[in-house]
Amino acid sequence: MRNFLREHNIHEVECVIADMTGIARGKILPKDLFLAGEHMRLPKSVLLNTVHGEQPNNTPYVGSIDPDMVCVPDPATIRVVPWATERVALVIHDCTNFDGTQVDLAPRSVLRRVLGLYAERGWRPVVAPEMEFYLVARTTNPHEPLSPPTGRSGFTEQGRQSYSIDAVNDFDPFFLELSAFCKQHELGVETLIHEAGAGQMEINFTHGDALELADRVFLFKRAVRETALRHGIFATFMAKPMETEPGSAMHVHQSIVDADGRNIFSNDDGTESTLFRHFIGGLERYVPAATLLFAPHVNSYRRLSRFQSAPMNVHWGYDNRTCGIRIPNSSPASRRVENRVPGVDVNPYLAMAATLACGFLGMVEGLEPPAPTPESAEHIHGDLPRNLEDAILQLRGCPALADMLGPLFVQAFCEVKELEFATFSRVISSWEREHLMLLV
């Protein structure tokens, strides 16, 4: 890191961790102070912030005196911040106790815990996320509906523009700068497409190590938002930002390799392995209980609705996008499973940990899935929780997932989400005032 800072003439360092929501927290340090060797300290309770900035009673999780944790920089994550006006670097940190053990509440620790269980069996997950998001017109009034932004043509998108090259090109200045930022930020972005919604885009990542990909997704969201601001628009990773447009997902492709780098989902003759079927069986069994990690906000369930195009089921099928679990066509060496349930509003560390935990449980418990679904599964809606409160109850009631992710983390995460749901439930919407105030 010292060489990196010298070679890039860095003046300041952003020392960053991700809280449970996935918000970047930390401190900005002068280079010399960062290199002095005293690791950053933050209160453990900072991990427990809700998305609106409150905290539940954190005494059961951090103690009554709100102690510090030690944030240790991961040298593999150091990067230049390309949009900064000065020469600034960023380093993602791990949250540790003073004895060097991982802080169980930290999302990066949760993913490390799951990956450690894979490593004990000689396995290594390989993942590739697909990120959907919306570009929207800039607004400072949260009571107004969002709308597509104006492109180079001077027009806003009307109707659906799936895979349209011209619709992407209408925002060429934004995407050219975003591409440059992603390259400088070493994010490994692979493909850009226009998705179905007006102003909805999708970017795919090259496959790789799960922790590295979670880091890249965490940084990518910030890069997109920063780039949009520079072009006078907003970018949003809400799961369902506009009522007339489809929701945004983070589909996760995943396979497992052994110590020799061979895909354990395929036998030597190229056929599907027993572990491949059991991984699918684990997703079918445990994804409903893990939904809180895949749909962590009240808005998430506007996407996971039977009135939307997102899958509300955990059926599986070959190249079947109506199933929550899709098996893409591929060679035996690239055989993989796509989890289509997560929204793009997830904390990437927790979503990666949860989907890999579900598959791991299937493999170690030997869970056989039913036959694949060859026809449309759009009519199947009963597999997943319908709202945030139901999802909290399901996760609380699954000791197997708690053991995988960490019992203390699961308890704390559920409390954070219960506080968010309680705060949301006090809000009276414009729909209620419009249709109920003078009519009931």
∠ CA 402-44-355, nearest 5°, is: 30
CATH 3.30.590.10 boundaries in the chain:
116-431
CATH number of the structural domain 2-103: 3.10.20.70
- Please name which of 206, 223, 22 lies closest in space to residue 110, comparing C-alpha atoms: 22
Rounded to an integer, the average pLDDT of 431-435 is 92
All residues at 6 or more sequence positions from 409 whose CB lies less than 8 Å from its CB, including other chains: 104, 105, 109, 110
pLDDT at 163: 62
Distance, in Å, from the CA atom of 298 to the CA atom of 296, rounded to the nearest integer, reads: 7
Distance, in Å, from the CA atom of 402 to the CA atom of 406, rounded to the nearest integer, reads: 5
pLDDT at 119: 98
Can you point out the beta strands (E) in 294-407? 316-318, 325-327, 337-339
Rounded to an integer, the average pLDDT of 6-27 is 96
133-144 residue pLDDT tens? 999 999 999 889
pLDDT at 157: 75
Give the pTM: 0.96
pLDDT at 372: 97
Judged against a pLDDT cut of 80, whether residue 162 lies above it is answered with no
Q: Where are the alpha helices (DSSP H) in 366-429?
A: 388-396, 399-405, 407-425
Judged against a pLDDT cut of 70, whether residue 390 lies above it is answered with yes
User: pLDDT band at residue 386, thresholds of 50, 70 and 90?
Assistant: very high
Domain range 116-431, its CATH number among 3.30.420.40, 3.60.10.10, 1.20.120.530, 3.30.590.10: 3.30.590.10
Buried b (16+ CB within 10 A) or exposed e, 71-90: bebeeebbbbbbbeeeebbb
Rounded to an integer, the average pLDDT of 325-330 is 96
Rounded to an integer, the average pLDDT of 216-234 is 96
Judged against a pLDDT cut of 80, whether residue 309 lies above it is answered with no
CATH 3.10.20.70 boundaries in the chain:
2-103
Q: Where are the alpha helices (DSSP H) in 295-347?
A: 300-303
